[in-house]
Amino acid sequence: MNPRVKAVKAKDNYKLEITFSNGEVGIYDCSPLLNFGVFSELKDKIYFQQVRAAYGTVVWPHEQDICPDTLYLDSVKIKKSPNKSLRRIGTKSRARR
């Protein structure tokens, strides 16, 4: 399961700055959606600015939303999640003679 949306800010040129639940931040470009059905309403820049994070994704007042997996996979990451220090603990058995 991909991380979910924790916060969102509308930017210029129909882009969203999204903070994901794993700490990563990405930019998602909504402009390819603007000519499709319910998303055409997003062309109104004032309406586009009304985006908010809810239910792990982004939503607008008239119930437009985008799949959170799409948002995560297709966004350009501008901040990666903090590297977790993974320490590999290996045990070697030694034969006793």
The CATH number assigned to the domain holding 65 equals 3.30.2020.10
pLDDT at 87: 40
User: What integer pLDDT is reported at residue 81 of this predicted model?
Assistant: 74
Query: Which residue, among 44, 37, 45, 46, has the nearest Cα to 66 in the 3D structure?
Result: 37
Which structural domain, as residue segments, surrounds residue 43? Answer: 5-78
Q: Please indicate, yes or no, whether the overall pTM of this predicted structure exceeds 0.85.
A: no
Task: Tell me how many domains the chain contains.
Answer: 1
Sign of CA dihedral 53, 44, 16, 69: positive
pLDDT digits (tens, 9 = 90+) for 68-79: 999 999 999 998
Instruction: Inform me whether the pLDDT recorded for 97 exceeds 70.
Output: no
Beta-sheet strand order (sheet of 52-54): 52-54, 57-59, 65-66
Residues 12-65: pLDDT tens digits?
Answer: 999 999 999 999 999 999 999 999 999 999 999 999 999 999 999 999 999 999
Radius of gyration of the chain (CA): 20
Three-state DSSP at 26 gives: strand
